Structure 1
Amino acid sequence: MNASNDLRAPFVHDLSPAQLRALQENTASQIGLAVNFRDALSDGASGPELALIPAGVFTMGNPDPARDFGELPARQVQIETSYAIGRHCVTAEDFQRYAEASGHPWPDHLVRTEGRQPVTNISRADATAYLAWLSEQSGRTYRLPTEAEWEYAARAGSRSRYCFGDELACSEANTGSFRIVGRSVQGWRRYLPFCAPMNQAVDVGLYPANIWGLHDMHGNVWEYTADLWEGPADALSPGKTGQWYVTKGGSWFESAWQARSAARKPRWFDELDVNLGFRVLRETA
C-alpha cells in the first residue's frame, strides 16, 4: 500500500454504489473467487465468512482541521492488491472451536461472550495464534488488517463519517450513545440516550452491512489492527517494534463519535477488554 496519485487505480469515492459493487464482483471473478466465501479447513469445518475487497485509491483519515487527538489528517492512499476480510468479527463460537481443536488456553475466570457474539477479553497474542491456526488449517495466509486496509474496507467508497452517512441511526450500529454530532441538547433531555443502549456486545450481523457486505464496522467492539500507534507517519504499513497498537471501529461502550471510520484508539499490546475483538484478513495474492 502506498500514498499514490496513480490514475490507473480507481478512486473509489467517485464511484456509485452500483459501480462499487461491480468493482467487487469483477475483482472476484478475475481471481476466481466468489464475492462472499469461506475457506475449507483441514479438520472438515469452514473458516470465517469473508468478503472480497477490490484494490483502489481512497482518502484515509479525518479532513477536519479540528480532528480529535491522535486522528490522522486526510490523505490519498492506494490499496494495491485485493484481499478478503471477515464479514464480521471473529465470534466466541469461532474462537472456542479453535481453542478446543488446538488446546489453546482460554481462561474461564474472565468475562466471556457466547455464541455469535464477538469474542472479547482475549489478547493480541491470542488473536495472532488463532490466525496462525487458521492459516495452517486453510493453507492460506490469514492475519490482522493494517489500519489502511481496515478503514478502506469500512468506508466502502464513502466519504462521510460513517459508511451510512454523517450520522448513525439506532438501527445501524451498537454504540453507547447516539448523540447527534454537532448539535447541542438543552435541559434535562441531554441526559437521555437517543437509543436504548445494549450495554454489551451483541451477536454479529444484526446491523446492516456496508456496500461491500461487511457488518459492524461501526460499534459493537473495537478491532485490532496490525499497526503500531507510533508507526510510520503515513500509517500505511505496520511498524516493527512498540507496545501500543491501533484499534478501529468503536464499541457498545463509547459514543457513536468514536465509531467513525477515521476514529482510532491506542491499545496496549497485551490489553484485555470486554469491548475489544478482532476481524480476520485473508490474502488473495
Structure 2
Amino acid sequence: MKLNQIRMVLFGSFLLVIALFGFRLQIEPFEPYDQKIPNTDLSFSMVPIPAGAFIMGTPSEQKGHQVDEAPQRKIQLDAFWMGTHEVTWDLFELFLDKNLEIGISTKPLSHQVDGLSRPSTPYLDMTFGMGKASKPAVGMTQYGAIQYCRWLYLKTGIFYRLPTEAEWEYAARAGSNESYFFGSDANLINDYAIYIENSNKTTSTIGSKAPNPWGLYDMLGNVMEWTGDFYAAYEDDSNQNINPKVVSEQLYPQVLRGGHYESEAEDLRVGRRFASDPVWKQLDPQIPKSRWWFPEAPFVGMRVVRPLKVPSESEIHAYFDRVPPADF
C-alpha cells in the first residue's frame, strides 16, 4: 500500500473516531435530564455537577464547628450528575416490593431484575406514620441504599451510586465557602430547609423549599442522606485529595450528611458530618440483624449520583457486590 493510501486510511479512521465520539456527546450531553424507569410512568431528575475544586471542611471559628470537620483541605473532583431530590417512596418501593414492580410494569421483568436480592419485609411501618406521597423513603441501611442503586442499574443500564462524602459536600456548597450554600445567616434557613423549627417533627414533600444554586432540593434538612464513605478523621494528604473515598471492612460508622427534619440550624451546615450508629437497630429482633433496615432511623434517606466518567464493568460489580459484615 502506497504512503498516500495509508495516510488516507488513517485519516478516515480518525474522522470515524471523531464522528463516533461526537455522536456519543450528542446522545449523552452533560446537562439536566429525567431518568425514566423503563416500562413505568415513574422518573426522577438529575442535574450536572461540574468538575472542580473546593475547600472541604470548616474553619474552627465557624459557629457550630465540630472537631471532625477539620483540617480543611483542597479537594479536586471529576464531574457527575446528582439527583435533584431525595429518593421517594414510589421509586424505592418498586425495588422493595417485587409484586408491586410486576404490577406496575407494562412488560415482564428481565431475568436479572426478577432474580435481584431485595430487602427483607420490615416488621413495622417503615414510614413511621409520616406518609409516602412524594415523601423521601427512609430507614434503609447504607447496604440497602447501594442495592437500590443496583436495581436502578439493572433497570436502566446506567450506573447510579451513592455520592462520596466529598461529592456530597461539593454539591451542597455549590460554590459557597460559608456555613450554608446561601451564606452564613441562619435566619434565612427557613427558605431552604425542613428542620426542627418548621417540620412539625415529620418529613415533608420533596422540593417544598428553594433549591441551592445548582438546582438541588433538600440538601439541608428533611432527611439525612447516605454517602458511600466510611466515617474517619480528615487527613490533609495531597495524595488523597483527588476524588477521595474512604472504604473500610467495618460496618460502623458510615457517613451521612445534610441533617434532617428534627435538626437544629447549626446541624444543617454544609460541612456537618454524621456517623451511622448500631443503636438504630436495637429494636430489630433478628440475629444477625437486618442488612436492610434501621427500625429506629426515620431520619435517614438517600440521593443518587451518576459519574460522568463511567467505571468499568468489573468496577461496577465490585461496588455492588461488597457484602457488609454480619451485624449482631
1:43 maps to 39
Give the C-alpha shift of residue 199 in structure 1.
1.1
**Match for residue 90 of structure 1?**
87
Q: Distance in 2 between matches of 1:252 and 1:127?
A: 20
For structure 1, list consecutive stretches of 5 or more residues without a partner in the other structure: 1-28, 178-195
Q: Which residue of 2 aligns with 1:64?
A: 60
- Match for 1:99 among 96, 100, 103? 96
Match runs of 1:197-276 below 5 Å: 197-230=199-232, 233-234=235-236, 236-242=244-250, 243-268=252-277, 271-272=294-295, 273-276=297-300
Q: Does 1:73 align with 2:81?
A: no
**Deviation at 1:158?**
0.8
Task: Please state how far the C-alpha of 1:279 moved relative to its aligned partner.
Answer: 0.5
Say whether the 8 Å CA contact 1:42–1:138 is kept in structure 2.
yes
**Please, which of 33, 46, 54 is the counterpart of residue 29 of structure 2?**
33
For residues 147-174 of structure 1, give each alpha carbon's deviation from its aligned partner in whole angstroms, at most 9, with x where no partner exists: 0000000000011111111124222211
Per-residue deviation, 1:31: 8.4
Query: 1:48 deviation in Å?
Result: 2.3
Q: Which residue does the alignment assign to 1:137?
A: 155
Deviation at 1:46, TM superposition (A): 4.9
| TM score, norm. by length of structure 1 | 0.76
Report deviation, 1:238: 2.3
Residue identity (%) = 30
Choose the corresponding residue for 2:125, options 95, 101, 110.
Answer: 110
Letter of the structure 2 residue corresponding to residue 215 of structure 1: Y
Where 1:143 maps in the other structure, the secondary structure is: coil
Paired residue type of 1:206: S
1:233-284 superposed Cα distances (whole Å, 9 cap, x missing partner)? 3582121322211110011111011110000111137644111101111122
In structure 2, what residue type is equivalent to 1:174?
A: I
Partner of 1:190: none
CA distance in 2, matches of 1:254, 1:281: 24
Counterpart among 52, 55, 67 of residue 51 in structure 2:
55
What is the identity, as a one-letter code, of the residue corresponding to 2:164? T
Alpha-carbon shift at residue 59 of structure 1 (Å): 0.8
CA deviation map 1:80-137 (0-9, x unaligned): x211111011011111122232664442613414021111122222211111000111
Secondary structure of 2:35's aligned partner: coil
Gaps of 5+ in 2: 1-24, 102-113, 279-290, 310-328
In the alignment, what sits opposite 1:157? 175
TM-score calculated relative to the size of structure 2 = 0.67
Contact 1:110 1:121 in 2 (8 A): no
Where is the helix percentage greater, Structure 1 or Structure 2? Answer: 2
For 1:106 and 1:166, the matched residues in 2 are separated by 43
DSSP-derived class of the 1:84 partner: strand
Deviating more after overlay: 92-101 vs 38-47:
38-47
Change (3 A) 1:50 1:126: same
Q: Give the aligned partner of residue 10 of structure 1.
A: none
Equivalent residue in structure 1 for 2:191, among 171, 176, 179: 171
Q: Which amino acid aligns with 2:75?
A: V
* Matched residue SS, 1:142: coil
Question: In structure 2, how many angstroms separate the alpha carbons of the residues matched to 1:231 and 1:133?
Answer: 32
- How far apart, CA to CA, are the structure 1 residues paired with 2:174 and 2:123? 37
Report the CA distance between 1:223 and its aligned residue: 0.6
Q: Distance in 2 between matches of 1:216 and 1:110?
A: 23
Q: Would the alpha carbon gap of residues 175 and 233 (structure 1) be closer, same or farther in structure 2, given more than 3 Å must change?
A: same
Q: Give the match for residue 7 of structure 1.
A: none
* SS in structure 1 at match of 2:210: coil
CA-based RMSD of the aligned residues comes to 2.3
